[in-house]
Amino acid sequence: MRFVVTGVAGFIGSQVAEKLLALGHEVRGIDCFTDYYPRRLKELNLTACQGQPGFSLLDRDIMAADLEALLDGATAVIHLAAQAGVRASWGANFEIYTHNNVLTTQRLLEAIKAQGNRARMVYASSSSVYGDTRDLPMRETSACWPVSPYGVTKLAAEHLCGLYTRNFGVDSVSLRYFTVYGPRQRPDMAFHRFIRAMLTGGEFRLFGDGEQSRDFTYVGDIADATIAAAINGATPGGVYNLGGGSRVSVNQVIALLEEITGGKATIQRLAVAKGDVRDTEADCSRARAELGFNPRYDLKKGLAAETEWVRSMLPVLREV
């Protein structure tokens, strides 16, 4: 089968592409290599894909790409391209978020519709759509009140997928990822910053008191579930939570990382950032039932894998 993977050079996209290629599928990747973090790191993410006969890469913004050619013969479009980051989504940056998160999604949906709805659209959404709720665990039927512009754009794109399914028959699926971590994690993300600081004796910033909690989810489990949503019996127009299975505080994560790295956390404590939520926890019963979602990595195992990756990347990280 042929798959289009947007944001293919990213943290999650590159690992989805690798798994698809390993399964014998063809992958057409597209990435515009935004400058949110160094291009060199994204190129390294694709090392295992480049040169494989089933892989091709288009270095282009989705808004400028020939989508008719890109989607030709595709079984599914796995739409991972997005402008990430809750804290950076305020102010003038919002235009970047609407371009990369909303407009690109609408253009892909239009392109699928124009080709007769032959491809499934798998949209990577976020737990950020729920906002700061005490109604835990979060269910797909829970109210969504995002507390950041980033979350607003992710929910808007979800709504677009649902609208195109109901009105035009586009086979769309939205996956709400809960705090993904693991090898290739972006350098601005918390676990990456924590691990790098502990390995090098540096300091890292912590927003809030550390008692905020998240349902942390390992990237390999996310990639498997995303592929399952593209291939298996997901409900058209369906929305699915994908969480790691346990809610853990940031302070607990730091203690685990000190144990794994053998380093000591030196923390600069800051006020809670605008747009951050206090807690997340996913009810994944729907994904379990319909996608066969069953996370294989517990937090300690996943953190150890990310730690080894960061350790191996330190020479490159010092240069970029």
Whether the CB-CB separation of 19 and 227 falls below 8 Å is answered with yes
Strand extents, DSSP E, 178-272: 180-181, 203-207, 213-215, 217-218, 238-242, 247-249, 266-270
User: Would you state the structure tokens that stand for residue 171, as one six-digit string?
Assistant: 């086979």
Cα separation of 106 and 260, whole Å?
Answer: 43
Evaluated on CA atoms 219, 224, 225, 229, the torsion sign reads positive
Question: How many other C-beta atoms are found inside a 10 Å radius of the C-beta of residue 2?
Answer: 16
297 is catalytic: no
Strands 26-31 and 2-6: parallel
CB contact at 8 A, 119 and 164: no
CB crowding 38-63: b at 16 or more within 10 Å, else e: eeebbebbbeebeeeebbebbeebbe
The answer to whether 144 and 130 have CB atoms below 8 angstroms apart is: yes
Beta-bridged to residue 207, according to DSSP, are 270
In whole angstroms, what is the distance from residue 121 CA to residue 162 CA?
11
Which member of 130, 150, 164, 297 is catalytic?
150
Interacting residues of 277 by C-beta distance below 8 A, sequence separation 6+: 128, 130, 131, 132, 133, 147, 212
Q: How many CB atoms lie within 10 A of CB 248?
A: 16
Which residues does the annotation mark as catalytic?
150
